[in-house]
C-alpha cells in the first residue's frame, strides 16, 4: 500500500521546546503539528532558542513534514471594545509574527475576535486595522483566520464575514483561512452530507487557494447548534464517513490537517493512523472506531 502524503498532526505542548515537539510528532505518526505561541490564556512568550528552532527545521526537512500551524492565544481579540485588551492583541500579534520567523514559511492561526456589542461592521473594521498594522511585505508567515461557530458576538461565523476581512487587508498574500470542521458544522455548514457544496461555496466567496489548513474535529452537537464542543473522530454528529471524504478529497490533499479532539497522545496516534487508512483505501467506515492503532 502506498504511503499517504497527508500532513496530519495535533496540538503539542511546547514545554520541551521545538525539537521535542517534532520528535513527539514523529512518535505518533504525525507529519505536522500545532502549538501555542504563548500561554493560551495570554501573557508573555518564552524566548526562542535559535539552535532549538534550527534543529526542528532540520528534523522537519529530513522527515517530510508539512507546514506547521501555530496558534495565537485565546485571549487575543483584535476587535475588543477594551483599549487594554485591544493593545495586548496587537502587540502579541506583532511579537508572535516576529518570533515565527525562526520557523519560516509556516502558518499562524488566530480567532478573528468578538465585537462584544460594537457590531459586526465595527468588529471587522478593527480586525482589518490590526492585520494591516501587523502584516508587512517580506515576512514568511501566513496568518490564518479560523472559521468560528458564531457564539455570542464572534466574528468569522460565515464565509462572508471572513471574505470581508480579507478584502480589507492590503497584504492579502499573507492571509489564509483555517477551516475547523466542528466550528463550521456547529455554525450550520453541512460538511457531513454536503462537503463538495461547502467547498464550492468557500471557493465562490473566498477562493479555495486561501484554504490553507484544517482543524479536524467531530462535534458533540447537531448541525447549527452554535455550541462548539469537539468530539473524537467518528464518535460525534459529523461521523466517520465525513472524515473519510475530507481526507480523501483531492481539493484538500495539500492542506495540513490538525486534530483538536479530546485526546491524549495515544488517542491522537490512533486517530492519525485511522485517518491515514481512510485516505489510502477508504476503509469500511461502518466499522466502529475503538481507538486501535495499526
Is 146 noted as a catalytic residue in this protein?
Answer: yes
Is 221 noted as a catalytic residue in this protein?
Answer: no
Please report, for residues 3, 30, 99, 166, the alpha-carbon distance to residue 162 in angstroms, rounded to integers and kept in the order given.
Answer: 35, 29, 25, 6
**Residue of 183, 212, 232, 276 with catalytic role:** 183
Is 167 noted as a catalytic residue in this protein?
Answer: no
**Residue of 96, 146, 186, 271 with catalytic role:** 146
Question: What b/e string do you get for 156-181 counting C-beta neighbours within 10 Å, with b at 16 or more?
Answer: bbbbebbbbbbeebeeeebbbbbbbb
- All three cell numbers of 22: 517534532
**Residue of 99, 164, 215, 232 with catalytic role:** 215
Is 186 noted as a catalytic residue in this protein?
Answer: no
Is 180 noted as a catalytic residue in this protein?
Answer: yes
**Residue of 74, 87, 121, 200 with catalytic role:** 74
**Residue of 19, 38, 67, 111 with catalytic role:** 111
Is 229 noted as a catalytic residue in this protein?
Answer: no
* DSSP-derived secondary structure letter, 24: H
**Residue of 96, 180, 186, 271 with catalytic role:** 180
Is 41 noted as a catalytic residue in this protein?
Answer: yes
**Residue of 154, 218, 228, 271 with catalytic role:** 228
Rounded Cα distance, 247 and 257, in Å: 9
**Residue of 260, 268, 271, 276 with catalytic role:** 260
Is 228 noted as a catalytic residue in this protein?
Answer: yes
**Residues near 224 by Cβ (< 8 Å), separated by ≥ 6?**
186, 187, 188
Rounded Cα distance, 223 and 265, in Å: 28
**Residue of 38, 67, 71, 276 with catalytic role:** 71
**Residue of 41, 284, 287, 292 with catalytic role:** 41
Residues labelled catalytic:
41, 71, 74, 111, 146, 180, 183, 215, 228, 230, 260
Amino acid at each position: 500500500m502506498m504511503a499517504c502524503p497527508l500532513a496530519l498532526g495535533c496540538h503539542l505542548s511546547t514545554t520541551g521546546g521545538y525539537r521535542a515537539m517534532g520528535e513527539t510528532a514523529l512518535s505518533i505518526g504525525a507529519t505536522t503539528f500545532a502549538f501555542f505561541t504563548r500561554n493560551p490564556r495570554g501573557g508573555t512568550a518564552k524566548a526562542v532558542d535559535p539552535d532549538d528552532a534550527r534543529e526542528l527545521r532540520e528534523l522537519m526537512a529530513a522527515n517530510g513534514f508539512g507546514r506547521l500551524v501555530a496558534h495565537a492565544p485565546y485571549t487575543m481579540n483584535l476587535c475588543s471594545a477594551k483599549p487594554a485588551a485591544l493593545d495586548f492583541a496587537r502587540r502579541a500579534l506583532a511579537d508572535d509574527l516576529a518570533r515565527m520567523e525562526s520557523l519560516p514559511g509556516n502558518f499562524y492561526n488566530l480567532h478573528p475576535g468578538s465585537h462584544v456589542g460594537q457590531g459586526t461592521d465595527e468588529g471587522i473594521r478593527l480586525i482589518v486595522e490590526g492585520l494591516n498594522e501587523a502584516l508587512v511585505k517580506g515576512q514568511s508567515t501566513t496568518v490564518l483566520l479560523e472559521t468560528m461557530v458564531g457564539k455570542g458576538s464572534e466574528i468569522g461565523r460565515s464565509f462572508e464575514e471572513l471574505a470581508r476581512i480579507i478584502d480589507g487587508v492590503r497584504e492579502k498574500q499573507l492571509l489564509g483561512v483555517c477551516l475547523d470542521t466542528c466550528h463550521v458544522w456547529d455554525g450550520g455548514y453541512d460538511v457531513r452530507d454536503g462537503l463538495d457544496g461547502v467547498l464550492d461555496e468557500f471557493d465562490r466567496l473566498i477562493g479555495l487557494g486561501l484554504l490553507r489548513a484544517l482543524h479536524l474535529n467531530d462535534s458533540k452537537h447537531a448541525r447549527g447548534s452554535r455550541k462548539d464542543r469537539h468530539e473524537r473522530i467518528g464518535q460525534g454528529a459529523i461521523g466517520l464517513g465525513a472524515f473519510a471524504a475530507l481526507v480523501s478529497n483531492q481539493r484538500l490533499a495539500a492542506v495540513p490537517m490538525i486534530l483538536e479532539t479530546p485526546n491524549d497522545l495515544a488517542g491522537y496516534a490512533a486517530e492519525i493512523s485511522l485517518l491515514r487508512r481512510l485516505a489510502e483505501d477508504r476503509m469500511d467506515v461502518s466499522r466502529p472506531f475503538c481507538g486501535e492503532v495499526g
